[in-house]
Chain A
């Protein structure tokens, strides 16, 4: 006797968000990246459509990262001072998107000017043709000063700008709206605040199909379980018909994984932990693949080998 498959039907679905604009669409990108669209639990394609595959964004910094351990740094040593070349390298490593993190505009990390930052953005847009995420330094004052300039310089490119927080969301929402960009809404591993910040930006007239949520990431061993369950609850709410939660999700795996003690301790410091050369890669890859199960749509990553492991994993699952 044949037993019919039991299908878990969900009433809602995650909205699709497209990052990047081609020439025809008013930008200069060679291709665009569309995320979201799921109407079932991640990778459970027998229940419905899992939507678009998770995309990998690779980080580029406007100022050399200070604490990157050798196994990671060695891949970027030649481009660490040159964001445009750095971005090129990431594109070669297989990045779907570039995530330009503007740490350098922070008063404690160089206090880079708007002009410098705008030219960095422009140089990356010229160097690569994949879509761009541009993320401020999380100092409200500096972000509110620089992000409008950056947004204007990238007008038409349909970038993903970050991040709008409950305390500081007006400026970045306004410029993203005006310049046609997508927007990252940010919450501190809190499902309610995640939803509230989405309500706040939509109250300002920002369309929900241009929002990507960021719930703050914890790496393996550093709170990944909190992060996982928040993502999972958010996705369940979205699939159950909660429109305010029905936006794709971004997570920051690379930065979090590579500041873990396990990724940074050298062979002599932690001889019992296995090879220093492999540890960080494993840490990053496992953090990424774990969070993927909870329902994330963009994964920020750093190490080229970790990226290729994760990409292979995505292919295997879909």
Chain B
């Protein structure tokens, strides 16, 4: 072959990714370039025979090998690392060669891959939306039946819904338009009924049957990210979801800083507008994308931490940060969304789910309801890793909770190339002993950053491959140019510039690693403290639900390897994604779920970790990989010592 710059197109299936590569390169090189994971234990030395792929079309130059059976050879199997590209190719990556962890994870995280309907069914809440639209066909009045319009409507509602007359309530503006609306479509009307405590309010009345156009919004009001889902309330169907970064970030990374900003600059109104604008942006995106009328959105359920609820509602947050840490309100009555400046139906209701304490908010009570912690027989843990890292331990009889101040590292914030779990975020990372990195991204597009699950993989894999030691320090002696000095700080290049979807490499820096280790240390310390404070040990914990906006997959084993989760069989750990949002969605479509959240909130006992000396000690010893007390992580100790290359000489 002459020296030329011939390039070939390699089309990988089932990923459906096409990559250009110079001739002479191997199929494995092409896969690396395309950021497609191909199993390769030996790292391309033609020894392990793990990188089997199927050549569907095109030609390659491959030496004979005993690593493929006759049967495989007959089916056009080739070894990706041995096959030099000599034409355009179509390569099918068989199941066994794809990312191994992914397959395992699918099983481990069954819960997360359940459909919304399945999750909803499993939770067994009664289907009864907080705000309902009901179509009524009223009997027109006659001389014999001369009941007034309003009472006629009540009777019809009572007949259809079994609602007692004495719990119903009607607004003045509804009364004003009632006679006209009732007669507009020949006594067929749609009433919008909303729960307000024990009262059922007639929120709106429309002529004709519009009962199939009733929508609600569930919002996870996070400190770092705000996520909203649009649901069709009649059918409980999730229509669409959208997320944005909380623009309050400009007032401070964490909410304590924001509270201080609000107080010092008398900026509470400004900050309320900021979060309301974020929510309006989300709603308007969802509404436009799905061609829905804003007036048809009749309810919002919010689940955020206590401080975010204060900001959203414009309640004074000052005492949240000062001893003895008193919120203005944990249980907030339903209010009209418009009162906060949120644009939905002008009479639509906003339900803020209840908090437990200053540092355990509605995101947690909502999450506990979503996983039905209130029905567990055995002690069960819920760990929600958001900006704070809250932990709940309990079962159907008792619940205790605490907040770990873990910081937003696993939400991608404060990490050089961190990002939230969105399209282009690296969610799985694998690093070989030769420091070759392969990763996969959400949406299978060139990477733009790393989300929580990717960051977690990154730490675990760098530890396994010896790029960092147990302190998280880079091992400067390793033979790779991916580890480099940038200014005063070392960083490891995960993805080269030409392979990313941004105009730079994707790296992880020493500061990022320290940040992530502190974050996981804070979480583990909180878990350890709660378990100990109940006089239990890790083996008494039946099941761990790990929640948070990590990504679609979460490698539970890696979370144990880095010491974020206690060392226990991975089968007892379930990754459940954003439970704050899940709980909010459930509450929106089920009054039963809404009540459950209220009950959970009034049941939980809060442990304060601030100034807790024992917590500080636990935290300090958790700032190591996996932990300073190795005997708490026997399986990790075993795993890592089998990987260590002891020094035998200089």
Contacts and interface: CB of A to CB of B under 8 A. Distances in A.
Given A174-B649, A192-B621, A204-B646, A199 B473 contact: no
Contact of B646 (A170, A175, A190, A205): A205
A177 interface: yes
B169 interface: no
A76 B650 CA distance: 37
B471 interface: yes
A308 interface: no
Contacts of A34: none
Contacts of B623: 192
A108 interface: no
A244 B470 contact: no
Contact of B647 (A177, A196, A242, A244): A177
A51 B516 CA distance: 42
A200 interface: yes
Interface in A172-231: 173-175, 177-178, 190-192, 195-196, 199-200, 203-206
B190 to A, nearest CB: 64
Given A148-B650, A204-B647, A167 B473 contact: yes
A196 B628 contact: yes
B624 interface: yes
Contacts of B397: none
A123 interface: no
A190 B644 CA distance: 26
A200 B470 contact: yes
Which of A173, A191, A192, A205 has the most C-beta atoms of chain B within 10 angstroms of its own C-beta? A192
Interface in B402-455: none
Interface in B450-489: 469-471, 473, 475, 477
A242 B641 CA distance: 18
Given A174-B649, A174-B650, A200 B471 contact: yes
B291 interface: no
Contact of A195 (B475, B628, B646, B648): B628
Contacts of B629: 242
A166 interface: yes
B175 interface: no
A205 B650 contact: no
B620 interface: yes
Given A175-B650, A177-B647, A204-B646, A170 B628 contact: no
Given A192-B623, A196-B471, A200-B471, A244 B650 contact: no
Contacts of A166: 471, 473
A174 B646 CA distance: 9
A147 to B, nearest CB: 11
Nearest to B469: A200
Given A200-B471, A203-B470, A244 B630 contact: yes
Given A175-B650, A192-B620, A192-B621, A199 B477 contact: no
B649 A192 contact: no
Which of B469, B473, B623, B649 has the most C-beta atoms of chain A within 10 angstroms of its own C-beta? B469
Contacts of A170: 475, 477, 647
B614 to A, nearest CB: 14
User: SS class of chain A's interface: helix, strand, loop or mixed?
Assistant: helix
Given A192-B623, A192-B624, A205-B644, A199 B649 contact: no
Interface residues of B, number: 21
B521 to A, nearest CB: 10
B628 A199 contact: yes
Contacts of A196: 470-471, 624, 628
Contact of A199 (B620, B630, B647): B630
Interface string B528-539: 000000000000
A174 B647 contact: yes
A242 to B, nearest CB: 8
Contacts of B646: 204-205
A140 to B, nearest CB: 10
B249 to A, nearest CB: 32
Contacts of A195: 621, 628
B106 to A, nearest CB: 33
A196 B472 CA distance: 11
A145 B537 CA distance: 48
Contacts of B473: 166-167
Nearest to B641: A203
B327 to A, nearest CB: 34
A65 B641 CA distance: 43
A173 B648 CA distance: 11
Interface in B625-650: 628-630, 640-641, 644, 646-650
B481 to A, nearest CB: 19
Contacts of B628: 192, 195-196, 199
A281 to B, nearest CB: 37
B633 to A, nearest CB: 11
B91 to A, nearest CB: 40
Given A195-B628, A196-B471, A204 B644 contact: yes
B497 to A, nearest CB: 30
Contacts of A148: 650
B459 to A, nearest CB: 16
A117 B648 CA distance: 25
B649 A178 contact: yes
Contacts of B640: 203
Nearest to B620: A192
Contacts of A173: 647
Nearest to A175: B650
A195 B644 CA distance: 18
A191 B649 CA distance: 30
B485 to A, nearest CB: 14
A205 B647 contact: yes
Nearest to B472: A166
Nearest to A201: B647
A104 B620 CA distance: 35
Interface in A134-152: 148
Contacts of B649: 174, 178
B514 to A, nearest CB: 12
A51 B650 CA distance: 34
Interface in B20-61: none
Contacts of B641: 203
A200 B623 CA distance: 14
Contacts of A204: 644, 646-647
A173 B644 CA distance: 15
Contact of A205 (B470, B471, B620, B648): B648
A25 B477 CA distance: 34
Nearest to A198: B628
Contacts of A192: 620-621, 623-624, 628
Given A170-B475, A205-B644, A178 B650 contact: yes
Interface in B520-579: none
A39 B641 CA distance: 28
Contacts of A191: 620
B518 to A, nearest CB: 13
A192 B629 CA distance: 9
Nearest to A170: B477
Interface string B592-632: 00000000000000000000000000001101100011100
Interface in B348-367: none
B561 to A, nearest CB: 15
Given A170-B647, A174-B649, A177-B647, 16 more contacts: A170-B475, A170-B477, A174-B647, A175-B650, A177-B648, A192-B621, A192-B623, A192-B628, A196-B471, A199-B628, A199-B630, A200-B469, A203-B469, A205-B647, A205-B648, A244-B630
9 nearest A-B residue pairs (beta carbon): A205-B646, A174-B647, A192-B620, A192-B628, A204-B647, A192-B621, A195-B628, A196-B624, A166-B471
13 contacts: A166-B471, A173-B647, A178-B647, A178-B649, A178-B650, A196-B470, A196-B624, A199-B470, A203-B470, A203-B640, A203-B644, A204-B644, A205-B644
Interface of A: 148, 166-167, 170, 173-175, 177-178, 190-192, 195-196, 199-200, 203-206, 242, 244
